[in-house]
Structure 1
Amino acid sequence: MLAEALRYPLGGRAGRDAFATCTGLVLAVLVLFRVGSALWPTPLVALPVVLALPPASLFAGYLGRVLSADPGRSGAPPFAWSLGAFRVGLRLLVVASVYLLPAVVALFGTAFVLISGGGGSLLTIAPTVALLVTVASVYVLPGALSAAVHRGLRAGFSRRSLGGLASGSYFFAWTVATSLVVVAWSALATAGVATVAAVLGAVAVAYAHVVAARILGEGLFRSPWEPSPGGV
């Protein structure tokens, strides 16, 4: 599973073209958010954020196609410049935002406790709770995203779409995929702005996400998981 997934983004001309496009989209989003950080806290910060939504949605839409692709297919699907791909990507961004919100709140709460110098027990409990909430949110997210691709937005928020994830095959796939994504983002974070290393970091982020989507898709396929029959 792992060896095939590592070759997946570069398998065939369509896959290589899609990977190059994904890298360009990641670069566009990073540049726009860099512009946004320079404009903060003026109202103009909204402009680059809005402009980043189309490339982010198209990238998410492609990852959704990889996540829900037939594991028996060896080549990566071609990239689709279409309104449908944008809508699917936007749907996945909404699902991801909702599922990751508890993790964000827990992390901010932990940061507040650490900065404010809370009591001794809070200094121990808060980071532990934040870690557990973050892991739980990220663990169930791929199942929700795949359900949203297959059956629509409502299915992504259905509890039935989270069943069957307690399997060894999915746990292994999730562990490997999460590790790849974390390493790629860590490499990008250490790269300087507007440098060759930053460009290589963007390539690594795009590659890691496509590979992770492929691994997670196969992990879901091998597990008892099934998308909820919830409507669009």
Structure 2
Amino acid sequence: MNSVTKTGKVYLIGAGPGDPELLTRKAERILKEADIILYDALVSEGIKELFNKKAKLIDVGKRADNHTYPQAEINQMLVDFAIDGYNVARIKGGDPYVFGRGGEEAEELLKNSISVEVVPGISSAIAAPAYAGIPVTHREYSSSLTVITGHEDPTKGESALNFKALAKMQGTIVILMGIKRLKDNVDALISGGKSPDTPVAIIEKGTMPDQRLTTGTLGSIVSIAAERKIEAPAVIVIGDVVRLSGVLGKK
């Protein structure tokens, strides 16, 4: 690592959905040059192979209820390393600003006068469905796309999601990090007025060689998911565009 006296810079990098070939050229360059790399659980092994061999690597991944480091400590590490003069790559699955807490990290860095640059990544919200043959928008099926988290901050007390409003929308709904609360979210949509016959797809390990697609309806997907032992990471797609997976998903 470089021993320098000037303040370093932090890069908030999106790793994309998993397939290393979907990583941006800019992200790859920074990862090969960074002094310190903090990486999340969803960063694939293929992308880790691109890391600077001389860099200090820190696993800050969050897996279900097991967090390697609390978010406040991650924020402080980024600040401290930059103050010490290191260029830091903070790499996350998908895009850092799509349910990746990149905004919180950027705020903390700027509050401490640390230079920060965001390197966007392809979100699994669009990539995983695409690899499964599901276009999230389509002129005949869906003119809107709504992406929500299936795992809200438990400290908020009250959900910020209006499931009655979501149930009335005719477009596509994509739920990220929603496997653990699949039944709760499905029940909320049906209670809000969404038809139990609405098509649903769950894509596990999207864009990776072992990607798996499961389809059903709002009324059946919970039991199907249990039967197939679906696990995270997975993307849930709700809407008529799911019907296209049988056509566009064929190889």
| Same fold (TM > 0.5) | no
Instruction: Give the TM-score category using the shorter length.
Output: under 0.3
Quick check: which has more Rg, 1 or 2? 2
| TM-score relative to the length of structure 2 | 0.26
More helix by share: 1
More strand by share: 2
